[in-house]
Structure 1
Amino acid sequence: MTTSHPIGVFDSGVGGLTVLREIRRELPHEDLLYVADSGHAPYGDKSKDFIESRSTAITEFLLSRGAKAIVVACNTATGAAAKLLRSRYPVPLVAMEPAVKPAVERTCSGVVGVLATRQTLASHNFSVLLQRVGQGADIQLQPCQGLVEHIESGELDGPALRDLLTRYLDPLLERGADMLVLGCTHYPYLTPLIREIAGDGVTVLDSGAAVARQVRRKLDESGLLVPSGRCGREHFWTSGQTARTQRLISQLWGSEILVERLPEPETKEAPFSLGGLALEGV
């Protein structure tokens, strides 16, 4: 690996763009590769074995494109597959950790609400996180089935989404939560709506900026930070419908971008390998 190689980032869909944007702000000179596994989103209702299979195959794809580091920009994939990926691939790997620690440190009411997928909340990683940093507050967990699907369809507001989000927020607010932790990288797109529903007395936290700082630290430690004086580029792939995902990513990214089809077999449920594909580096 050299400093000129890109950083690989992936998520179950477009949620990881919230992390990608923070990485771009922190590291403006780096080239970034992004895979939206929208053809298999959401990961929150998939098995651990399936998520491991997808995460492994996508990581191998990103490495085949020359990635010098991997960012698992998905809390569910982190809980299910980050340990396996770290054991298998000798590159810097940065994964997600919900912002429970800063929420516990900053709460005045002593109640912290965590919004996440059911898979994330049930993961060993999250259990360890709560044991490590969650002892100073009443941590209320709220699985949020259906939110990812709204965001993947490009719906960031609307009556149905408001009703669903209100149903998830009300129990946390009734318990007195003054900190809401977004434990899914899709959810920051709903921050304006969450703030509107929750009111001014509630702080909304996500970990995208912290992940970007960790990427910088890991690359610096490995001597892989690209020198300044150049503008980094982004390159996007998806396992979903290419034209639809391109429109959605362009909408969320704020500029017109090109999305390519992620090479894979037609079946969605069977594990797959990218071995044998002749892929050129970026």
Structure 2
Amino acid sequence: MNRPIAVFDAGIGSYAIARKIADRFPGQDVLYFADRASFPYGGKGRSELLGVMRSTIERLESYGPAAIVIASNAPSVMVLDEIKSWSRTPIIGVFPPVRRALETSASKRIAIMGVASLISSSEIRTYVARESAGQGGVDLVSASDLAELVENGAFLTDADRTLTAVRAKLDTLAVDTDVVTLSSTHLPWLLRYFEQAGPRLRFLDPADDVVEAVASYATRGCGAFRTLVSEREGYDLADFQRMLARLGLDLTIERV
């Protein structure tokens, strides 16, 4: 691979971002790492998350990437500044699109849906205060249970259970909420369920902002798309391969 763009998070969630980068920049080599051994990032505290980020980035730096995308909102919001201070590679994060959501909202009431550690962190409150600048109301909604339905593949095999869970989550929103940011890279996989359960709502995917941020690091290669996967009990390689098959994805997987 020639100066690939490396993209990772704790599982299948980051595939969509990796694929969007590959589609947006033909010829760009892309290294996609599904770090299922560390799932979920959203269940880790700051110090543990920093340890995982450091070891993962050091692993990916051995491939000589032009840039590394942390395709997960929780570490991007909580620890990205510290990571940038020691990494020798440009690091790009993914963030809740608060400004875009408020500009889109008619009621000026939006919700950020993400994993528990992000939603409960002081960093997300600081980020929201800066990005919203008092221009509207922003509610923080924990959706780790929905992220789990994606990573374990239940959203592909049990549609009724998934739709029920999504409806229950949307029922917790304030009545005047009209825009929701899907601020876990797992959640956009559930978009059809969100749209069915909340037809009056608009759902935003932060991935689009990441693809544009990658543009200045795009490098001509041969268009290779390489997939690395780690595993642990309950999140093994065979389950991941079955999930890819149900999604119609034909990826050659390397266990790391």
TM-score (norm 1): 0.83
Provide the rounded CA distance (Å) in 2 between the counterparts of 1:98 and 1:69.
20
- Contiguous gaps of at least 5 residues in structure 2: none
179-188 vs 50-59, greater mean Cα deviation: 50-59
128-137 vs 182-191, greater mean Cα deviation: 128-137
TM-aligned CA deviation for residue 238 of structure 1: 1.5
Partner of 2:63: 65
Alignment of 1:1-282 (within 5 A): 4-134=2-132, 135-156=134-155, 158-172=159-173, 174-199=174-199, 201-217=200-216, 219=217, 225-227=218-220, 231-240=222-231, 241-252=236-247, 254-262=248-256
TM-aligned CA deviation for residue 133 of structure 1: 2.0
Deviations 1:49-86 (A, max 9, x none): 22111111111111112212110001122133322220
Percentage of pairs with the same residue:
27
SS in 2 for 1:94: strand
SS in 1 for 2:59: helix
Deviations 1:132-187 (A, max 9, x none): 22221111211113112110122225222222221211121x42111011110100
TM-aligned CA deviation for residue 258 of structure 1: 1.4
Provide the rounded CA distance (Å) in 1 between the counterparts of 2:163 and 2:120.
25
SS in 1 for 2:31: strand
Provide the rounded CA distance (Å) in 2 between the counterparts of 1:43 and 1:194.
23
SS in 2 for 1:15: helix
Provide the rounded CA distance (Å) in 1 between the counterparts of 2:107 and 2:222.
44
* C-alpha contact 2:8 2:14 (8 A) present in aligned 1: yes
TM-aligned CA deviation for residue 214 of structure 1: 0.4
* C-alpha contact 1:242 1:260 (8 A) present in aligned 2: no
* C-alpha contact 2:78 2:124 (8 A) present in aligned 1: no
* C-alpha contact 1:113 1:177 (8 A) present in aligned 2: yes
Provide the rounded CA distance (Å) in 2 between the counterparts of 1:161 and 1:250.
19
Letter of the structure 2 residue corresponding to residue 93 of structure 1: I
Provide the rounded CA distance (Å) in 1 between the counterparts of 2:18 and 2:245.
13
Provide the rounded CA distance (Å) in 1 between the counterparts of 2:3 and 2:246.
27
Deviations 1:59-118 (A, max 9, x none): 111111221211000112213332222011122110011111101011101210111112
* C-alpha contact 2:4 2:219 (8 A) present in aligned 1: no
Letter of the structure 1 residue corresponding to residue 21 of structure 2: I
243-252 vs 37-46, greater mean Cα deviation: 243-252
TM-score (norm 2): 0.90
Letter of the structure 1 residue corresponding to residue 163 of structure 2: R
105-114 vs 128-137, greater mean Cα deviation: 128-137
- Contiguous gaps of at least 5 residues in structure 1: 220-224, 263-282
Provide the rounded CA distance (Å) in 2 between the counterparts of 1:43 and 1:92.
21
* C-alpha contact 1:72 1:78 (8 A) present in aligned 2: yes
SS in 2 for 1:115: strand
Letter of the structure 1 residue corresponding to residue 209 of structure 2: A
* C-alpha contact 2:8 2:32 (8 A) present in aligned 1: yes
